């Protein structure tokens, strides 16, 4: 079981958070932590997720990137988890 | 201009001239706008028929397929077809009506959360509750469905939005939107990766191409054929890749996977470099991944980064537009690739293809489906017919025994495996290709899932040929129960099927039935020469199975050719199918 943290910038629209969480669940990841808030970008939202799974997070990175509303995906190494969450 | 009028105008602006659908309460303004619009609406008899027809239209033409349904049950009936388009990357626009925006969330009549339902089966989806959003969302939807890796996009439009007047300022804005390119796959060519790919291929003694549906989708079939011709690389195809390289091409070893040819599966297991083009390495194609192509370095070409190294780590990844990559790769290969290096390998592949190929000399007097389909294929050679399949044994027999020169001529529900696809998909294909022969090959299980579309054939007087292989069983499920569930046959007996010839007649469709091999030639000639829809009912042996078969979870090397314990049918299985002979 490994833990990964993703920070996702998404175009805010009805259901964009739901779409991300559905994908994460379906691809076999548990959500340990989730924070969604407005971004300074116009119509943007940032979503920070701490996820755990037996599966590789590399595929998930690309699958998240493929979502139409997703603008950016940043994947933090497990060791950087604390500092990443600390900035929220 | 109302929102509904704007929708129809936008479809016309995007060269959509045919849509498939079924009206209902929440989509009535759109149906009102359709009248006199010049857009042809094909009334199917079930929303699932409409979405599969739009899918067949899109696959056979390369154009956007459009379907329309109302809220609630109309929308839920579309879901299977939308999922089908998602799994097979088909450009599809699904328009659904929704209850008025002030009623959304109140459990109103025929209200369902269509947007929520769509999330797991679409490339993207929109819920339009403000008229100001309609132009942006609609234009994005149309472009998204066709850009990059194609897929289905759903636009759920509240009824009050359909009836609202479009603000003039919004109309002006939407004109600026039209040329917007949402494609995300035009990434810069990675020259280092290209060089690595060419080097790998040049050093290979046993190279193999693995062509998937992405080749045809990206209109790269001619380039792939040119590459195979120039460098003489043996090629296998996936189910969706059939036709990407003409079936008759000498280096085409056929389909790989669970029901693949022995030559194709053997080549994949033995190759040292595997060039995967536009394929996602589906489990039905690869068998046990741990044992798949065990000696191969993998070069993977795809427009979707999420598919590269998803299941099998790619040694070299080439991300982007398939035609551009194949062109550049051919240029790179021309400097170092010598086909003489792989001479022995090529000889072995072609020898396997010749010696391990299918045989059709069944000794019994009944109809052997593979021989029938081979005969049909030969009679269709000049016509370049489009063949839409349903799902099951007959689908695999079509893939194994019919020849295709274009992937847009072989319509098959590959990823989702949706029974009921064939007839409406053929209907849609005929609307897109009115001058081409369109055939659906179906089974007695599958045909009943959308048989109501016979009425649509009759309504529009279009000629779709239906070849119905009737074994009075759910044949593929029966085959698996026979092989993997100790012959405990559960709910696969369809011996109480209706009289299909009478059914066809009741819909006003010509039909006849055959059950002897001596009838095949004449029956197929009549079937193909008919200028109207025609259902040819063919009784086949319930015990006939699809061979070879790689059991689920096994390596593609571990194919079996018949169930050794199948005593009831052993006398009917031709001698040539016995494993000891086939491996010689």
| pLDDT score, position B182 | 45
Give the mutation candidate from A24, A68, A73 for the B interface (greatest B CB count, under 10 A): A68
Show the tokens assigned to B358.
């299918």
In terms of phi and psi (left: phi > 0; alpha: psi -120 to 50; beta: otherwise), the region of B328 is alpha
CA distance B22 to chain A (A): 27
Quick check: B123 and A63 CB within 8 A?
no
Give the mutation candidate from B104, B120, B281 for the A interface (greatest A CB count, under 10 A): B120
Give Cα A87 to chain centroid, integer Å.
15
DSSP one-letter code for B381: T
| pLDDT score, position A41 | 72
DSSP one-letter code for B310: S
- Block residue for tokens 């759910």: B474
CA distance B212 to B215: 6
CA distance A68 to B316: 26
Task: Give residue limits of the domains in chain A.
Answer: 2-82
CA distance A18 to chain B (A): 9
CB B157 within 8 A of CB B134: yes
Mean pLDDT within A9-36: 95
CA distance B95 to B30: 10
Establish whether domains B3-177 and B191-355 are of one fold.
Answer: yes
Higher pLDDT: A14 or B314? It is B314
| pLDDT score, position A42 | 75
HSE-CB at A69 with a 13 A cutoff on CA atoms is 23
With a CB cutoff of 8 Å and minimum separation 6, the contacts of B45 are B22, B452, B453, B455, B456
CB B257 within 8 A of CB B286: yes
A2-82 CATH, one of 3.40.50.10540, 3.30.70.260, 3.40.630.10, 2.60.40.1120: 3.30.70.260
Helix/strand/coil for B408: helix
Give the mutation candidate from B305, B313, B317 for the A interface (greatest A CB count, under 10 A): B305
CB B19 within 8 A of CB B67: yes
CA distance B57 to B430: 8
pLDDT digits (tens, 9 = 90+) for B305-333: 999 999 999 999 999 999 999 999 999 99
CB B260 within 8 A of CB B276: no
In A5-34, the residues whose Cβ lies within 8 Å of chain B are 14-15, 18-19, 22, 26
| pLDDT score, position B406 | 96
Length of chain A: 88
CA distance B257 to B550: 7
B191-355 CATH, one of 3.40.50.1170, 3.40.50.1220, 3.40.640.10, 3.40.50.10490: 3.40.50.1220
Tell me if chain A has a CB within 8 Å of the CB of B198.
Answer: no
Residues of chain A in contact with residue B310, where contact means CB-CB under 8 angstroms, are 59, 62
A and B: number of Cβ contacts within 8 A: 31
| pLDDT score, position B256 | 97
B305 → closest Cβ in A18, A26, A62:
A62
**Nearest residue of chain B to residue A15 (CA atoms):** B116
Rg of chain A (C-alpha set)? 12
Domain B369-546 has CATH 3.40.50.970: yes
Quick check: B115 and A14 CB within 8 A?
yes
C-alpha pair distances (Å), B403 with each of B206, B246, B247, B262, B275: 26, 8, 5, 17, 23
Task: Give residue limits of the domains in chain B.
Answer: 3-177, 191-355, 369-546
Quick check: A59 and B115 CB within 8 A?
no
With a CB cutoff of 8 Å and minimum separation 6, the contacts of B564 are none
| pLDDT score, position B363 | 67
- Those residues of chain B that have pLDDT short of 50 are 175-186, 563-584
Show the tokens assigned to B479.
């085959």
| pLDDT score, position B573 | 36
Residues of chain A in contact with residue B125, where contact means CB-CB under 8 angstroms, are 15
| pLDDT score, position B337 | 87
CA distance B306 to B195: 22
CA distance A66 to B236: 28
Q: How confident is the model at residue A78 (pLDDT cuts 50, 70, 90)?
A: low
With a CB cutoff of 8 Å and minimum separation 6, the contacts of B401 are B358, B370, B371, B373, B374, B377
**CATH tag, B3-177:** 3.40.50.970
- Block residue for tokens 């008919």: B530
CA distance B356 to B244: 22
Terminal Cα-to-Cα distance of chain B (whole angstroms): 72
Nearest to B26 by CA among B76, B83, B75: B75
With a CB cutoff of 8 Å and minimum separation 6, the contacts of B288 are B553, B554, B555
């Amino acid at each position: 079981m490994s833990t990964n943290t993703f920070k996702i910038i998404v175009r805010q629209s009805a259901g964009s958070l739901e779409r991300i969480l559905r994908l994460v669940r379906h691809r076999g990841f548990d959500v340990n932590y989730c924070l969604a808030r407005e971004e300074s970008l116009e119509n943007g939202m940032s979503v920070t997720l701490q996820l755990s799974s037996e599966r590789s997070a590399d595929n998930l990175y690309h699958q998240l990137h493929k979502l139409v509303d997703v603008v950016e995906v940043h994947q933090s190494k497990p060791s950087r988890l604390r500092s990443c969450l600390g900035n929220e | 201009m109302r929102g509904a009028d704007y929708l129809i105008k936008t479809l016309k602006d995007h060269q959509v001239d045919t849509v498939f659908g079924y009206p209902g309460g929440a989509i009535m303004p759109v149906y009102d706008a359709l009248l006199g619009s010049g857009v042809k609406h094909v009334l199917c008899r079930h929303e699932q028929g409409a979405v599969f027809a739009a899918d067949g239209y899109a696959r056979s033409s390369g154009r956007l397929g459009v379907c329309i349904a109302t809220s609630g049950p109309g929308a839920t009936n579309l879901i299977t077809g939308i999922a089908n388009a998602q799994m097979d990357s088909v450009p599809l626009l699904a328009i659904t009506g929704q209850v008025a925006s002030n009623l959304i969330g109140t459990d109103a009549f025929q209200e369902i959360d269509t947007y929520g339902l769509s999330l797991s089966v679409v490339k993207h989806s929109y819920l339009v509750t403000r008229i100001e959003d309609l132009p942006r969302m609609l234009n994005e939807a149309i472009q998204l469905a066709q850009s990059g890796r194609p897929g289905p996009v759903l636009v759920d439009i509240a009824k009050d939005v359909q009836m609202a007047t479009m603000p003039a300022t919004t109309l002006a804005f939407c004109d600026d939107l039209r040329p917007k390119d949402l494609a995300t796959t035009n990434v810069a060519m990675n020259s280092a990766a290209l060089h690595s790919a060419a080097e790998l291929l040049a050093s290979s003694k046993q190279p193999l191409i693995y062509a998937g549906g992405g080749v045809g989708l990206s209109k790269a079939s001619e380039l792939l054929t040119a590459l195979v011709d120039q460098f003489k690389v043996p090629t296998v195809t996936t189910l969706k890749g059939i036709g990407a390289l003409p079936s008759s091409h000498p280096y085409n070893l056929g389909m790989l996977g669970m029901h693949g040819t022995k030559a194709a599966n053997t080549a994949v297991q033995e190759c040292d470099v595997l060039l995967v083009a536009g394929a996602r390495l589906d489990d039905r194609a690869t068998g046990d991944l741990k044992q798949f192509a065990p000696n191969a370095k993998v070069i993977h070409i795809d427009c979707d980064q999420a598919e590269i190294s998803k299941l099998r780590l790619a040694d070299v990844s080439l991300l982007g537009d398939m035609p551009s990559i194949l062109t550049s790769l051919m240029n790179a290969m021309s400097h170092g690739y010598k086909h003489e290096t792989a001479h022995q390998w090529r000889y072995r592949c072609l020898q396997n293809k010749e010696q391990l190929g299918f045989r059709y000399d069944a000794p019994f007097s009944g109809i052997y489906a593979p021989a029938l389909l081979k005969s049909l294929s030969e009679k269709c050679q000049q016509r370049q017919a489009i063949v839409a399949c349903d799902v099951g044994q007959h689908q695999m027999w079509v893939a194994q025994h019919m020849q295709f020169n274009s992937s847009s001529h072989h319509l098959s529900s590959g990823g989702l495996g949706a029974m009921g696809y064939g007839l409406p998909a053929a209907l849609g294909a005929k609307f897109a290709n009115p001058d081409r022969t369109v055939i659906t090959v179906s089974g007695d299980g599958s045909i009943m899932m959308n048989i109501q579309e016979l009425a649509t054939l009759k309504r529009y007087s279009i000629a779709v040929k239906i070849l119905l292989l009737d074994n009075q069983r759910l044949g593929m499920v029966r085959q698996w129960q026979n092989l993997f569930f100790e012959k405990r046959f559960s709910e696969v007996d369809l011996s109480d099927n209706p009289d299909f010839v009478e059914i066809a007649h009741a819909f006003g469709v010509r039909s006849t039935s055959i059950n002897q091999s001596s009838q095949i030639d004449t029956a197929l000639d009549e079937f193909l020469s008919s200028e109207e829809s025609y259902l040819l009912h063919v009784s086949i042996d319930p015990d006939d199975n699809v061979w070879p078969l790689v059991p689920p979870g096994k390596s593609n090397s571990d194919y079996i050719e018949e169930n050794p314990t199948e005593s009831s049918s052993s006398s009917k299985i031709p001698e040539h199918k016995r494993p000891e002979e086939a491996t010689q």
